[in-house]
């Protein structure tokens, strides 16, 4: 469970919250008026998230490219389309299993 603090408390305890995240590896959620607004993550967690976003964007780009080819009349066969979707699905399952390990 992440630590939750107010934005006012963050102003007073910035260094303490950075140390909390760095040493415990747990995020700190910053709330304003009881609503979550931001989070402090370890740099390793931030980098992992950036890598995830890039990989996700690449997978969706492949699917969008296939859809554009189909729309332009250069249609994939049903087998090719299913193979592409299955390949992306397998990448997602592998990524999820790796994250859970």
Give residue-wise pLDDT tens across range 32-53: 999 999 999 999 999 989 988 8
Per-residue pLDDT tens over the stretch 2-21: 899 999 999 999 999 999 99
Stronger pLDDT, 59 or 13, i.e. the higher one = 13
Distance CA 73, CA 70 (A): 5
Distance CA 62, CA 92 (A): 14
pLDDT of residue 58: 85
Give this prediction's pTM: 0.62
Distance CA 57, CA 68 (A): 16
CA distances to 2, 21, 24, 88, 91 from 98, rounded to whole Å, are 22, 23, 21, 15, 10
């Amino acid at each position: 469970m992440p630590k939750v603090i107010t934005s006012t408390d963050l102003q007073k305890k910035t260094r303490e919250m950075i140390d909390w995240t760095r040493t415990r590896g747990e995020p700190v959620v910053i709330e304003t008026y009881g609503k979550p607004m931001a989070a402090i993550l370890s740099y390793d967690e931030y980098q992992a998230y950036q890598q995830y976003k890039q990989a996700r964007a690449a997978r969706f780009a492949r699917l969008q490219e296939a859809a554009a080819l189909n729309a332009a009349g250069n249609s994939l066969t049903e087998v090719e389309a299913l193979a592409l979707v299955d390949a992306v699905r397998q990448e997602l399952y592998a990524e999820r299993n790796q994250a859970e390990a």
